[in-house]
Amino acid sequence: MSRLIIVSNRLPVTIGKKEGGELFYHPSAGGLATGLNSLDDSINKIWIGWPGKDIRDEWEQEAVRKDLLDQDLVPVFLSKKEIKLYYEGFSNKTIWPHFHYFTQFTTYDESSWDAYKAVNRKFAEVVIPHIQPGDMVWVHDYQLLLVPEMIRQAHPNISIGFFLHIPFPSYEVFRILPWREQLLNGILGADQIGFHTFGYMRHFLSAAYRITGHEHSVGMLSVNNRAVNVDVFPMGIDYEKYAHTDPDPQDEEVRKIRDLAKRISLVISIDRLDYTKGIPTRLQAFERFLETSVDQHGKVTLVLIVVPSRSNVDQYQELKHQVDELVGSINGRFGSFDWTPVRYFYRSLNFSELTGLYKAAHIAMITPLRDGMNLVAKEFVASKEENKQGVLILSEMAGAANELTEAIMVNPQDIQGMADALQRALDMPVADQERRLKSMQSKLKIYNVEHWANTFLTDQQNFMKQQEKQNISRMEDQQLDEIYQAFRQAQKRLIILDYDGTLMDFKPDPQAVVPDDKLIHLLKSLKASPQTKLIVNSGRDRDTLQEWLGPLDIDMAAEHGVWIKRKGEWALNPGLASDWKSEIRDVLENMVERTPGSFIEEKDFSIAWHYRRIDKEFGEKRVREFRDVLLYLTANLDLQVLEGNKVVEIKNAGVNKGKATLNWVDEENWDFIMALGDDHTDEDTFKALPDHAYTIKVGLSNSVAKYNVLSVQEVRQLLDRFTKID
């Protein structure tokens, strides 16, 4: 990798101004900066983002550029209006609440959307001139969802990664957004897309399929003739920093924290002020705990740290007011002259105070209603490296719950459940605390923030190398030229074409894939050469093929070779039976009854169950349920069960496309043979052909074919070029 170009909303430094107007720079806090700064020094990095201040004067902007260039940082300057509409508006009033399932707070404002597009374009225009061949771009988070596609348009062959640091919602929630397709296409401009959890990844793949039509195979998508890898990369923390950094012993606040912890059990709650964090519900749970555990009065204190955030937004102002009232109510009801049940701090803590609180606390109560990861939970666990005492109460809805499985898991909406968890944590034996902490710490040591960043980049690099290797089998200009030259020189040419997925794209209704005028013209042009024999070898029924392609007067095979059309006449493959269909039909009708949207297609000597109109995963679930039944029923009937693209077909075992192909392969001494197909049934065709044949698979899946093309569009382009050869 020549260089890594990092693109994020904020730079790892923030600009400030002294009283005299002199600019100064201080590091930005956050796990992203920590993780990316921990990358191997051999990686040459450039970081592009907003420097955190509205700088208008050109001379001042130029000064900032020069200052930041020394640190390999490149600023994107944004006006106050752009920040208001793009960041405070669309990013945090549309995407943030929506992706966290708070749709009641989602705003649908066109002006904010326009600003979001414009600022994403501004970021892309800063990035694009910096890109050199061999570079890798890594775009981060929800503020820049459109940037990958914008960069892709300018640099089609550059390697682009994207990581989403917040949840990706379920399809049913995501689909509500009016700009859903644009946002998905923006992300899909990347080659590798990363999420914190498998759940977020699954939601994204579902949305990509249902909204943009891109299907995946084991997390691999084909998008505009590109392979896109979607995977899970849980973000970690700087473990050593929290495990082995002692708080400043001179810090007065740290001393007070330690003294308090000696007298009372500390339950800590540390969050940014946000409705996703579940702070009011947590306070209500603590209140319930005090109501039911009178013996704990004076023995337990909740230390509530709320870091100010977006204080000019109505929902956040209301949330602050609600928290203030709850704290006041709890302290008023249960407090005494020598005990404050809730110690409430509406401010951020310095690192010494934070680590001091982590190390002194007996319990960390981290119960967000929805959270992409939540690094506070990991930091608390790491801080217990030395004494191995402490209990983590963690929300099931935090991404960290997938890793910190030894925590006490709670439903953040279950007030009684959280109150019970507090009592359980207080009663937990030291040996149990130590066992749980050791297990969680062992994972966090390995899967730290450095591991997260390096894994993403290594996987990205390996993925791109794999693609380069796959390009040997993918059709490139050199192979195309070789095929065209062989076609030009040949006197006897045989071209065998599948139909669905090869000449025409799939549609929900199989009968809607009528050949368009361009395809008819293309096939006529190919057939026009007396040196070329054109065959369509399809799983379609005879009547449909005859209706659609009969006027072209070309040879065809229908139902995978049950029917063969040669010299204008259809002939039936001898020795076939169809009386078995009634028994199989009952099973398939049961599948239809249980799977609304699926349907049966009955042919002369085969019967198929289609699920192309329904969710792919739902259809595959039904296939798994019925596969054993179908295999059992067909075992003694000389039948074969074929699984194609969203279809399961049962047919006579002695018939396949490969055997049908031999009808034409054996009739002449062909000096040029080429076959194209897209699914499992076409593998029989490829296997039946001699070694000198050109076999081409449509799609990225494994195949015995010599070459791959990615789409129906590429197939048509390839065939069209044949028609222009004299």
Q: Which amino acid, one-letter code, is at 216?
A: H
Q: Which long-range contacts (CB under 8 A, 24 or more apart) does 333-342 make?
A: 333/287, 333/290, 334/287, 334/290, 334/297, 336/297, 336/298, 338/298, 339/264, 339/297, 339/298, 339/301, 340/301, 341/286, 341/290, 341/297, 341/300, 341/301, 341/302, 342/283, 342/286, 342/301, 342/302, 342/304
Q: Which of 498, 541, 555, 679 is catalytic?
A: 498
Active site residue 498: yes
Residues 677, 679, 685, 687, CA torsion sign: positive
Residue 390 contacts by C-beta under 8 Å, 6 or more apart in sequence? 361, 362, 363, 364, 380, 381, 384, 433, 437
Structure tokens belonging to residue 626? 């019925």
- Inter-axis angle of helices 616-634 and 581-594, to 10 degrees? 160
For 61, the enclosing helix (H) or strand (E) is helix 58-69
For 707, the enclosing helix (H) or strand (E) is strand 707-709
Q: How far is CA 227 from the centre of its chain?
A: 13
Residue 110, CB-side half-sphere exposure with 13 Å CA sphere: 0
Residue given tokens 């970021």 in the structure block: 123
Give Cα separations from 266 to 562, 603, 661 (angstroms).
77, 72, 77
Measure the CA–CA gap between 707 and 32, rounded to whole angstroms. Answer: 41
Measure the CA–CA gap between 387 and 683, rounded to whole angstroms. Answer: 62
For 442, the enclosing helix (H) or strand (E) is helix 430-446
Structure tokens belonging to residue 539? 């799983």
652 DSSP β-pair partners = 639
166: left (phi over 0), alpha (psi -120 to 50) or beta: beta
User: Do the beta carbons of residue 158 and residue 137 sit within 8 Å?
Assistant: yes
Order the strands of the 342-345 sheet from edge to edge: 342-345, 300-307, 265-272, 363-366, 391-395, 408-410
Structure tokens belonging to residue 524? 């006529």
Measure the CA–CA gap between 516 and 501, rounded to whole angstroms. Answer: 14
Structure tokens belonging to residue 685? 């065709």
Order the strands of the 73-75 sheet from edge to edge: 73-75, 45-50, 4-10, 136-140, 159-163, 192-195, 226-232, 220-223, 216-217
Active site residues: 498
